[in-house]
Structure 1
Amino acid sequence: MTEKEKTKSKGQAKGQSKGLGKGLSALLGSTDKEYSTIEKGEAAPPRPDRDLPIEFLVANAYQPRKVFDEDKARDLVESIREKGILQPILVRPKGPDEYEIIAGERRWRAAQAAGLHRVPAIVRELTDGEALEIAIIENVQRHDLTPIEEAMGYQRLIDEFGHTQEMLGKIVGKSRSHIANILRLLALPKNVQNMLLDGLLSMGHARALITADEPEKLARRIIDEGLSVRQAEKIAKEAKGPKKPLETKSRDSRGAKDADTLALENDLSESLGLKVQIDFQGEKGGEVRIQYKTLEQLDDICQKLSGNDEF
């Protein structure tokens, strides 16, 4: 590589790092307009950088999708067998004769099944964070992720790359409250998360399960009886029973909180997604304490209290 090419490469990498958190087109750069627009359903095909031997490509370590639809896969294989790959696969170099797929793993799998030996590819130098961002953006725009896959992808960006909920909202074009509500799904029991992962439950069902006393039991009933979202919400609400008015006395003779206070604490905790404590102090009134760990959680509380949050 010449000195001029090295300088150009460094400039591109610097520009891409500045694009972090600004969407797919910013991450890929203005020269890849064709790739970013086709994700929105436009017809203009992107221009591949080169054709790569199919064995040079490896699966994406940051692929947010865990389940691949077999029926859709078969249809894609037939399409590729007849017309070839119309949209190049986005990859990044990983080593000598090795490229990691960032977007287009399903096309790569189908190309192998169709017997192709080479595939068109767009090659870009991307960081791990940018690779995960693009993988999530592509799948969200195509509506290819289950709610739990979407939540797991967002959580990984938060844990591994320091993204905030506000940054995630800008990346995928969603409201911050949507991001917050999706992330709440990760508090569900693992078995229920697997049901969402397998597509057995919808996002609407998941909202009802988050507030249910026995989410796994209700989830199995939803599947077995084919319950609608409205039916699931009604069952979850009825299971909690009518809310009782609070009495002035919130503790029994042993100093423990009474059942009504504990129930209200639990309801508020589930609603906010944060720990809430209520402490009555007789005629003096009392205190409500909401515990948070991050500034994003504090911001969520402020939004809800001010009535500016979608929920």
Structure 2
Amino acid sequence: MEKKVPKRTNRLGKGLSALIPDTANEIDEKEIMNIDLNKVYPNEEQPRRTFDEAKIQILSESIKNYGVLQPIVVKPDEKGKYMIIAGERRYRASKLANKDKIPVVVRDIPMKEIMEIALIENLQREDLNPIEEAIAYKSLIQNYHVTQEEISEAVGKSRPHITNTLRLLNLNEKIIEMIDEGILTAGHGKAILRVTNLELQLQLANKAIEEELSVREVERLAKKICEEKIEEIPKKEKIKDIFIVDVEERLRNVFGTKVSITKGKKKGKIEIEYYNDDDLNNIVSMILEEN
């Protein structure tokens, strides 16, 4: 008879309530403490690195009028202070509202479990940008030996989505920063991944930004780079002003050589080519010639 293997349960799916029962709905009022706000501090390993300041401002106005309706969850440290486990937005908004105290529920939970909570809670709420999301997945897999299948079940996202998001961390570090800062989309990043050379990746990313290329356009360009083994991406030539082109042509006729004019926002430059000392003397003579 075939032996049945017990199904592995996913400990991540319940999020915060798995380790802090009834936090959201039925907290015993005796557990709630009002402590000085200056004794509370964020978790430095919190996966979310950016916060929507507009939403924090709105929450701050609500706290000014009604107070903090749901206590934050904190962990006591050895110095008599409290690290935030859950509720950093409420903490930030309370500071903005100039509150002296904040309601808390104290839980002495191991750091390993706190990090699992923070990662899963943020992933479930979709509060993270693509790079923060990728780093959160990587942390769960490397530090807590969680499988992609477990993450998929816990956050309600497909396994391919998790795999492709993780792949963003293979990009050139500067491109990762661009996506993290919202300068480039995750879709552009995934298209650029087809190019394995990190320097070419950056050239392609810069081209996508400068020329406002769509994801599809970047995909086509990445395919061309790979198929034709392109080693350097040519920059798009800017269309010169008709007036500048006319002046260049007139100066060419005067000096008998190539003349280029580059126009900047505050200054420009004129380049006159020469090929030997005689050419240079002739050009200088024409420029200095008195009428």
The bucket for the TM-score relative to the shorter chain is 0.5 to 0.7
Cα distance in 2, alignment partners of residues 122 and 190 from structure 1: 39
1:85 Cα deviation after fit: 2.3
- Measured in 1, the distance between the counterparts of 2:24 and 2:89 equals 22
CA contact 1:28–1:124 (8 Å) conserved in 2: no
Aligned to 1:107, which of 57, 76, 90? 90
Deviation digits for residues 36-66 of structure 1 (CA, Å, limit 9, x no counterpart): xxxxxxxxx9977322221121111220112
1:54 corresponds to which of 34, 37, 56? 37
Distance in 2 between residues matched to 1:138 and 1:86, nearest whole Å? 19
Higher-Rg structure is 2
Which of 24, 43, 65 aligns to 2:15? It is 24
- Residues 101, 241 of structure 1: alpha-carbon distance in 2 compared, 3 angstrom cutoff: same
Letter in 1 for 2:22: T
Deviation at 1:206, TM superposition (A): 2.0
TM-score (norm 2): 0.65
2:154 pairs with 150, 171, 191, which one?
Answer: 171
Conserved? CA contact 1:52–1:119, under 8 Å: yes
2:131 match = 148
Deviations 1:258-280, CA, capped at 9 Å, x for gaps: x9xxxxxxxxxxxxxxxxxxxxx
Contact 2:16 2:117 in 1 (8 A): no
Conserved 8 A contact 1:58-1:101: yes
**Alignment coverage as a number of residue pairs:** 217
Q: Secondary structure at the match of 1:177?
A: helix
- Give aligned-pair identity as a percent: 40
Distance 1:19 1:233, change over 3 A: closer
Computed over aligned residues only, the root mean square deviation of the Cα atoms, in angstroms, reads 2.8
Q: Report SS of the residue matched to 1:65.
A: coil
Kindly provide the amino acid, as one letter, of the partner of residue 221 in structure 1.
K
Structure 2: state its 5+ residue gaps. 1-8, 230-291
> Could you tell me which amino acid in structure 2 is paired with residue 217 of structure 1?
Q
Aligned to 2:74, what secondary structure does the other structure show?
A: strand
SS of the residue 1:34 aligns to:
coil
| 1:132 aligns to 2:115 (yes or no) | yes
SS in 1 for 2:77: strand
1:72 maps to 2:55: yes
Residue 34 and residue 220 in structure 1: after superposition, are their counterparts in 2 closer, same or farther (change >3 A)?
farther
Query: What do residues 174-208 of structure 1 show as CA deviations (whole Å, max 9, x unaligned)?
Result: 23332222111111111011111112222222211
Question: For 2:227 and 2:28, how far apart are their aligned partners in 1?
Answer: 57
Partner of residue 69, structure 2 = 86
Q: Deviations over 1:101-146 (max 9, x none)?
A: 1222232122112100111223223222221222122222332211
Give the aligned residue type for 1:209.
I
What secondary structure is seen at the aligned counterpart in 2 of 1:81?
A: helix
Do the aligned partners of residues 93 and 207 (structure 1) sit closer, same or farther apart at CA in structure 2, a change above 3 Å counting?
same
Report the counterpart of residue 306 of structure 1 in structure 2.
none
